[in-house]
Amino acid sequence: MEIADAVVIGGGVIGTSIAYRLAEDRNVILIEKGEVGSGTSGACDKAIFLQSKQPGFPVRLAKASKEIYENLQAELEEPIEFKKGGGMIVIEKEAHLDFMKEFVKKQYKAGIDVNLLDRKETLAIQPALSETIAGSTFSTEDAEVNPLLLSQAFAAAAKRRGASIQTYTEVTGIKTQDGKITGVQTNQGYIATELVINAAGPFASQIAEMAGVGLTIMPRRGVILISEKVEPMINGNILCSQYMASKHFTSKSEKNAPSYGIGLSLGQTESGNLLIGGSREFKGYDRKVEPHVLSAIAAHACRIAPALNKIKIIRSMVGFRPYTGDGLPIIDWAREVDGFVVAAGHEGDGIALAPITGKLVTGLVNNDSKSSDLLEPLKMDRLQVV
Amino acid sequence: MSDKIICRCEEVLLSEIVEAMKTGAQTEKELKLKTRAGMGICQGRTCRPLLEQIISFYTNKKIPQASNLTFSIPVRPLSLSALAHTGKDYKNEN
């Protein structure tokens, strides 16, 4: 039997970020059923977008996270390929111009340096795009990071602080006594602890259930195409206004919404591979992607960026984004049992929000009043059906 | 000492693989995430068996019958436009 001050369940960007912060003054064990960063955090794009977030609290949260990113590489003493390359949202159809104009106005008010560009200005920045697009919004504040390196870096830094990272270890039960957490049972042994952090992403509901905690987080499947290495041809990261519509306005524009929740997300890695997304579907945990989903992603990308036509796609990757229903994660104590924290449900914003999530969880368990402002809107009971 | 190339697409050397194993990697997936071996245009067709042998040599584990790395479509490189035109629902995409 082992003893820990805290057990973090889940070794993706969220869990490793939390383990790193908690390990500062706690004896932490992180449990991961596979390898570090091999699930959702290893099947996502690399963008840290601010301008795609809803004005108001989501923007504030993303900004707080990005501030941590500014010095993260030096802090962790590991390479994470953080770069401020800027971000663009392409407006493909004239029909999207109005809501994007409105969106930019609100974003600007929220303190994000974002500008509306016409077709010519857009193509000057991204020559790979089609000449038929309507325009774009561009922000120099959007950035990017290598998500594979990010999980590894948080894990390595947590280890240096004394945390134990246990991979290939699956949680099989969570023990409680008199309404309090007393330990975690895994397939490798028992860990006595009074504090459990559920950072299991799309599997957070199953973990919560083991502790008798009700939690609804659904897996939303996302597929991204990966190309061969090519010369630099994309500057920073690109989304399309359809992505924005899929993300924020699905209920309003359902009639004309494309199949499989398609919306472009496009970027190029340091190695030269293009990441071309993506879809958003509720398919349970089914990893078998139907070929027509790939075709739909490819067709959408070809139309917006015809320069990509001849580029070869070498594989696809599938990730299950943890979906809460309102686009925000849950970072909160469970009501049903003492000592159980939920930090999951980041959906497509896990990379952007990983740094702040580690800090907020630490603030929560230390009862630090500085964090309460950002934690209030992330409480679990906001999602309860009234 | 003469080194050897294990993954030709990503130009990963044997010494880099061994170094990654020394720092904790024990599976093909971990090696892939750490060194990029198997992430290139051939998607591990050449280096997969080599990686399996290396892992077996250093961990004393048996070489698996089926690979631990997953395959994902498209199983061979396909241009984006060719991929776009293979789907039945292409017309519905707009």
Say which residue, A100 or A14, is predicted with more confidence: A14
Residue B42 sits in a domain whose CATH number is 1.10.10
pLDDT at A171: 98
pLDDT at B92: 45
Strands A135-139 and A87-91: antiparallel
Q: Mark yes or no for CB contact B93/A229 under 8 Å.
A: no
**Candidates B27, B78, B86; nearest CB to A312:** B78
Please state the rounded mean pLDDT for residues B33-57: 91
B4 touches chain A (CB under 8 A): no
Strand partners, A144: A47, A83
Q: pLDDT-based confidence at A385, cuts 50/70/90?
A: low
pLDDT at B76: 87
- Between the two ends of chain A, the Cα-to-Cα distance in Å is 43
Say which residue, A342 or A112, is predicted with more confidence: A342
Q: Please give the backbone phi and psi of residue A237, each rounded to the nearest 5 degrees, phi first.
A: -120, 150
Closest-CA distance, B89 to chain A, in angstroms, reads 6
- State both tokens at A317: 């990757």
Residues from chain A contacting residue B79 (CB–CB below 8 Å): 309-313
Residue A249 has pLDDT above 70, yes or no: no
Q: Mark yes or no for CB contact B85/A309 under 8 Å.
A: no
Given a contact cutoff of 8 angstroms between Cβ atoms, the answer to whether A25 and A6 are in contact is no
pLDDT at A5: 98
CATH number for the domain formed by residue range(s) A87-140+218-323? 3.30.9.10
Given a contact cutoff of 8 angstroms between Cβ atoms, the answer to whether A331 and A360 are in contact is yes
**Candidates B33, B78, B88; nearest CB to A313:** B78
Residue A18 has pLDDT above 90, yes or no: yes
pLDDT at B89: 47
Average predicted confidence (pLDDT) for chain A: 93
List the single residue in B with minimal CA-CA distance to A310. B79
State the residue range of the domain holding B26: 5-93
**Candidates B70, B72, B80; nearest CB to A311:** B80
Given a contact cutoff of 8 angstroms between Cβ atoms, the answer to whether A9 and A18 are in contact is no
The Cα B39–Cα A301 span in angstroms is 22
Given a contact cutoff of 8 angstroms between Cβ atoms, the answer to whether A172 and A185 are in contact is yes
Residues from chain B contacting residue A309 (CB–CB below 8 Å): 79-81
pLDDT at A304: 95
Q: Mark yes or no for CB contact B83/A298 under 8 Å.
A: yes
Domain definitions of chain A by residue range:
2-42+148-217+326-383, 87-140+218-323
Sheet architecture: strand order including A330-333: A164-166, A28-31, A6-9, A196-198, A340-344, A330-333
A300 touches chain B (CB under 8 A): yes
% residues pLDDT > 90 (chain A): 84
Q: State how far the alpha carbon of B49 is from the alpha carbons of A115, B60, B66, B67, B69, in Å.
A: 51, 16, 10, 8, 11
Domain A2-42+148-217+326-383 architecture = 3-Layer(bba) Sandwich (3.50)
Given a contact cutoff of 8 angstroms between Cβ atoms, the answer to whether A196 and A340 are in contact is yes
pLDDT at B75: 84
Domain tally, chain B: 1
Write down the pTM of the prediction: 0.91
Residue A223 has pLDDT above 80, yes or no: yes
Closest-CA distance, B2 to chain A, in angstroms, reads 26
Q: Please give the backbone phi and psi of residue A331, each rounded to the nearest 5 degrees, phi first.
A: -130, 100
Query: What is the full DSSP assignment across B38-77?
Result: T-STTTTTTHHHHHHHHHHHHH-PPPPSS-SSPP-SSSS-
Q: pLDDT-based confidence at B73, cuts 50/70/90?
A: confident
A257 touches chain B (CB under 8 A): no
Helix (H, G, I), strand (E, B) or coil at A282: coil
Q: Where are the beta strands (DSSP E) in B1-94?
A: 5-7, 12-13, 78-79
- Of the given ranges (A286-295, A305-314, B81-90), which has the lowest mean pLDDT? B81-90
pLDDT at A93: 85
Q: At A362, which amino acid appears?
A: T
Helix (H, G, I), strand (E, B) or coil at A228: strand
Q: State how far the alpha carbon of A247 is from the alpha carbons of A210, A250, A252, A301, in Å.
A: 31, 7, 11, 17
